[in-house]
């Protein structure tokens, strides 16, 4: 049997996380006679994508860490070649819903998963009146829409949505001041959508009313964090920092969400191999289709693939820069089949319906 973890990474490598996952699985691979190899492919967007993808080893995984438009192109062409590909960077809904490819999977959480976690936390704390402050880009508008849907889903009230711009024109300066944008309305919390994380960093301690700030600044939903202190997470963070003797990292460094997604993709396969010890060939697609395939995510529950849209179900961390405040799903948010499915689009809500 052969196994290959393949990274496609033009500008934001997740290679270290893939290397960690293969390193942690090396004993299992050796026992089962699996030759694990890692290939780093830097795609040239100007050249034929199909020909570049055809150079990857048979039976491996494509870990796609690409800009959004190139991600869609590569995922579509990899799907035509029946290559298993994982999106580890983008949380955009349309990659999971309208694109909906048979061989395309997502280990990075979706926007709805992130915002559902935030919405649950706000309701759990009793902060039901939310002022949404958002940027003017298309990306910010799409993400703000997802946030509003999540807030309403769990019973929060959006008291207003206000938009800031990054204009430096003197006429816009006063209207963009945080005190102005957050005045004239009553709220329990300010939710900031700022994909560029430029304007939003000035919101904390600058709101008209003294209220918490959440979203892209302040209390933020994350899939991984260096300060998670339960479920074996400190040991995983330590391995990430120290498994390469020549590249030791400082104590406050952890995997980014993209790196954690890449690590999760490889570990999902390696953790699920034991149930197929009698097979003579490693069938990655069969592993991903099997509802029994799971991965220990060091967040209190195992992760598995949602069969309808190929999204990895997983808990979401609510964190500040230096602490994890809570892990969602929050208590008392129930689901008839799997409690983590309170985060993100459930099967009846999803446009994508893989079988």
- pLDDT tens for 229-279 read 999 999 999 999 999 988 899 988 999 999 999 999 999 999 888 655 555
Question: What pLDDT score does 1 carry?
Answer: 41
At CA 109, angle to CA 347 and CA 354, rounded to 5? 35
Distance of CA 39 to CAs 3, 35, 93, Å? Answer: 11, 13, 29
Same fold, 2-109+225-314 and 112-220: yes
Q: What value does the mean pLDDT of the chain take?
A: 90
Domain layout of the chain by residue ranges: 2-109+225-314, 112-220
Where would I find the beta strands (DSSP E) of 260-349?
Answer: 295-296, 302-306, 311-313, 316-319, 324-328
pLDDT digits (tens, 9 = 90+) for 51-98: 888 888 777 889 999 999 999 999 999 999 999 999 999 999 999 999
- Does 4 score more than 50 pLDDT? no
Cα 131 to the center of its chain, rounded Å: 25
Structure tokens at 33: 């006679």
99, HSE (Cβ side, Cα atoms, 13 Å)? 24
List the CATH code of the domain at 112-220.
3.40.50.2300
Over range 99-107, report the average pLDDT: 96
Question: What pLDDT score does 275 carry?
Answer: 55
- Does 355 score more than 80 pLDDT? no
Tell the CATH superfamily of the 2-109+225-314 domain: Response regulator (3.40.50.2300)
The reported pTM is 0.93
């Amino acid at each position: 049997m052969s196994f290959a973890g393949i990274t496609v990474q033009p500008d934001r490598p997740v290679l270290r996380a893939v290397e960690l996952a293969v390193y942690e699985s090396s004993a299992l691979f050796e026992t089962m006679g699996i030759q694990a190899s890692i290939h780093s492919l830097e795609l040239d967007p100007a050249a034929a994508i199909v020909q570049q993808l055809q150079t990857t080893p048979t039976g491996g995984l494509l870990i796609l860490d690409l800009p959004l438009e190139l991600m869609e192109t590569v995922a579509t062409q990899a799907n035509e070649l029946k290559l298993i590909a994982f999106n580890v960077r983008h949380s955009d809904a349309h990659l999971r819903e309208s694109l909906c490819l048979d061989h395309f999977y997502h280990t990075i959480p979706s926007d709805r998963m992130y915002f559902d976690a935030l919405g649950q936390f706000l309701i759990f704390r009793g902060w039901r009146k939310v002022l949404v402050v958002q940027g003017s880009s298309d990306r910010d508008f799409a993400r703000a829409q997802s946030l509003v849907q999540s807030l309403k889903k769990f019973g929060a009230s959006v008291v207003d949505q206000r938009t800031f711009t990054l204009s430096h024109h003197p006429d816009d300066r006063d209207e963009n001041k945080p005190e102005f944008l957050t005045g004239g309305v009553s709220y329990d919390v300010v939710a900031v959508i700022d994909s560029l994380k430029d304007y939003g960093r000035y919101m904390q301690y600058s709101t008209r009313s003294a209220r918490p700030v959440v979203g892209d600044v302040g209390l933020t939903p994350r899939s991984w964090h260096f300060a998670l202190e339960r479920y074996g997470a400190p040991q995983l963070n330590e391995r990430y920092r120290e498994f390469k003797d020549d590249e030791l990292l400082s104590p406050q460094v952890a995997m980014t969400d993209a790196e954690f997604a890449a690590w999760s993709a490889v570990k999902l396969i390696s953790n699920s191999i034991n149930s197929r010890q009698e097979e003579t060939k490693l069938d990655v697609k069969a592993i991903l289709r099997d509802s029994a395939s799971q991965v220990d995510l060091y967040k209190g529950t195992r992760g598995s693939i949602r069969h309808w849209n190929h999204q990895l179900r997983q808990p979401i961390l609510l964190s500040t820069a230096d602490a994890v405040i809570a892990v969602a799903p929050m208590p008392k948010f129930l689901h008839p089949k799997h409690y983590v499915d309170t985060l993100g689009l459930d099967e009846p809500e999803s446009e994508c319906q893989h079988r």
